[in-house]
């Protein structure tokens, strides 16, 4: 997908676990500060200079939840190019990971209050609208590439194209 110099490299990392009754849960969290405040989001953030996407995912998961993930336990789930036509400085090139292997108990950080959600009851209405288009693919174990263009309000979805 097309990248231009002002696109921010970002990672998202979805942690999954099995419940005693055989169901599955995904770790999400309430965003307390910064971009997306007040929404339910996944763990992740910007890739720092000199970091690989996998290194950034490991760091962000730990910083936001106190949970440790090893790079070798990250499974690539896809990529998303987020385009904000009304705010091109917000454009993001995102690498998405999933993992079933991690250690520690999720705990609140200054940025996120993490919580487990059944994969059958993901709170899409409290998330960025675009999540409902691509998160089911992450949950299903699919690999995908998507381009998400936001509407002029920078919140609603203008279009989602899978390639």
CATH code where residue 28 lies: 3.90.79.10
Residue 75 in domain: yes
Residue 111 in domain: yes
Residue 3 in domain: no
pLDDT, one tens digit per residue, over 115-134 is: 999 999 999 999 999 999 99
Model confidence, pTM: 0.93
List the beta strands (DSSP E) in 57-151. Answer: 75-83, 92-99, 112-118, 144-150
Q: What is the pLDDT of residue 5?
A: 56
Maximum C-alpha span of the chain: 47
Reading the chain (163 residues) residue by residue, the pLDDT tens digits are: 444 457 899 999 999 999 999 999 999 999 999 888 999 999 999 999 999 999 999 999 999 999 999 999 999 999 999 999 999 999 999 999 999 999 999 999 999 999 999 999 999 999 999 999 999 999 999 999 999 999 999 999 999 999 9
Characterize the bridge pairing of strands 43-46 and 75-83: unpaired
Residue 53 in domain: yes
In the chain, the number of structural domains is: 1
Residue 1 in domain: no
- Residue range(s) defining the domain that contains residue 105: 8-162
**What percent of the chain shows pLDDT beyond 70?**
97
Residue 2 in domain: no
């Amino acid at each position: 997908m097309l990248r231009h110099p002002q696109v921010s490299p970002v990672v998202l990392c979805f942690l999954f676990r099995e419940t005693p009754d055989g169901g599955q849960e995904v770790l999400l969290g309430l965003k307390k500060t910064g971009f997306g405040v007040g929404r339910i989001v996944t763990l992740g953030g910007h890739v720092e200079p000199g970091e690989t996407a996998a290194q950034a995912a490991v760091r962000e998961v730990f910083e936001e939840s106190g949970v440790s993930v090893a790079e070798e336990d990250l499974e690539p789930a896809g990529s998303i190019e987020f385009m904000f036509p009304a705010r091109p400085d917000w454009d993001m090139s995102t690498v998405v990971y999933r993992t079933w292997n991690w250690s520690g108990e999720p705990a609140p950080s200054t940025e996120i209050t993490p919580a487990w959600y059944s994969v059958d009851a993901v709170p899409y209405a409290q998330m960025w609208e675009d999540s409902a288009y691509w998160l089911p693919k992450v949950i299903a174990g699919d690999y995908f590439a998507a381009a998400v263009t936001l509407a002029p309000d920078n919140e609603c979805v203008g279009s989602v194209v899978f390639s």
